[in-house]
Chains A and B, each alone.
Chain A
């Protein structure tokens, strides 16, 4: 399947922030994801290189995204992902989903899940698997938001 083809796109488009919240310049994967998400009908914000965890959260809030997708290939995920989660928590934000990816050892995955970072996809994961997961998480937080307005 070509990503984005023959799929029913969610309306309004899912908004995703793609970010590498540490000093890590390996952006091949994140560019591929940006295009794949776009072709799956999503609106993608790319945070640029080397944002601090604070900047990631600021951007997510200002752009009102459904999902923050974090990626790191430099082994710093346990520290950097945690920082993002801590800031979200501190600001009382629970209606933005956070998904992760990169070179993440199996033993770290349950720890990340517990923090609230889901997915944690490794190299070679099919794009449609990632897209499905992001969609699922986005719909979850949208449900939360809907209830809030009532």
Chain B
């Protein structure tokens, strides 16, 4: 197996090769760049972001939604779970509720740890989505960490961001606080079998109206009876999808930030304290940065 085999495998939709390429992307920088180089223009998928606080039933909704979308196209799923800040390890449990749908509808799903990367996705989510897209997916469902705070990266990567909330958890308030109200293109209230769900829908509706977002829909879903799922699917299919390169913006920023960080950290670690001992720290920092810029990027001070 070499990069060639892997790239051909991805383009042919071979799950084992897709799986292996994702591991390489997560773990090996040179393989990552080589794979992306070869596949980045392939495919065109609709990226559906699913986010919301913990325990609202995101996995259940995806388990129900995926088979419905599978009727009109090939579906892939990326689910991100948090890593433990103590060990870096993680338990990736999102497959449990979807297993049956996965095998029956030939859906590729990948669980990934955020490896402590902030923002609700993993560091290489863009790249993984790219692989899924190149493998011929028509829909890629992305489930964020769902820590209830600052899962905001999804808006830069998904074409349509669905915010899932559940009644009775004070989610409405939490959602406003954590900025989820700003990023949703559609709001879903799960667990419609509960009596208080209509109140929740009303609260969310009012909050949206107050921020001039009266055109954003709020839909209640019942994941037992599948009530209203048809409306949800229709909304997703009718959504006006933009150019797939739009989401490159975030990636480009990320790559630049990373490279700058890596270069500077090398210098930071090598600062000789004797050189700067007596200098004003602001001045010293400025000097070092200019120095690096000059060496690395040919930056010249005017």
Contacts and interface: CB of A to CB of B under 8 A. Distances in A.
Do A's and B's CB atoms come within 8 Å in the complex?
yes
Interface of A: 4, 9, 12-13, 15, 34-35, 37-48, 51, 54-55, 58-59, 61-64, 93, 148-149
B87 A38 contact: yes
Contacts of A51: 99
Q: Indicate the size class of the contact surface on chain B.
A: 20 to 34
Contacts of B90: 13, 38, 43-44
B22 A9 contact: no
A44 B89 contact: yes
Interface string B45-61: 00000000000000000
B23 interface: yes
B95 A48 contact: yes
Interface of B: 1-3, 15-16, 19-20, 22-23, 26-27, 84, 86-93, 95-97, 99, 102-103, 108-111, 113, 115
Given A13-B113, A58-B103, A149-B2, A48 B15 contact: no
Given A38-B91, A40-B89, A43-B113, A62 B84 contact: no
A37 B93 CA distance: 14
Given A44-B91, A45-B95, 5 more contacts: A4-B86, A13-B89, A38-B89, A43-B89, A149-B2
A59 B84 CA distance: 23
A43 B92 contact: yes
Nearest to A4: B87
Nearest to A44: B91
B91 A46 contact: yes
B99 A48 contact: yes
Contacts of B92: 43-46, 63
A63 B110 contact: yes
Nearest to A45: B92
Contacts of B88: 9, 13, 41
Contacts of A35: 91
By secondary structure, the A interface counts as mixed
A93 to B, nearest CB: 8
A42 B110 contact: no
30 contacts: A4-B86, A4-B87, A4-B89, A9-B87, A13-B88, A13-B89, A13-B90, A38-B90, A38-B91, A40-B87, A41-B88, A43-B92, A45-B111, A46-B92, A46-B95, A46-B96, A47-B95, A47-B96, A48-B96, A54-B103, A55-B103, A59-B95, A61-B19, A62-B15, A62-B102, A62-B109, A63-B95, A63-B110, A64-B20, A149-B3
A143 to B, nearest CB: 14
Contact of A42 (B15, B89, B95, B115): B89
Nearest to B107: A62
Nearest to A35: B91
A61 B113 contact: no
Contacts of B3: 149
Contacts of B91: 34-35, 38, 44, 46
Contacts of A45: 92-93, 95, 111
A24 to B, nearest CB: 16
Contacts of A34: 91
Contacts of B86: 4, 39
A54 B104 CA distance: 12
A130 to B, nearest CB: 14
- Nearest 3 pairs of A and B residues by beta carbon: A48-B96, A38-B89, A64-B19
A46 B93 contact: yes
B87 A62 contact: no
Contact of A12 (B26, B84, B95): B26
Nearest to A46: B93
A46 B93 CA distance: 6
A43 B26 CA distance: 13
Contacts of A12: 23, 26-27
Given A13-B113, A61-B19, A63-B111, A41 B96 contact: no
Nearest to B109: A62
B86 to A, nearest CB: 7
A45 to B, nearest CB: 5
B103 A39 contact: no
Contacts of A93: 16
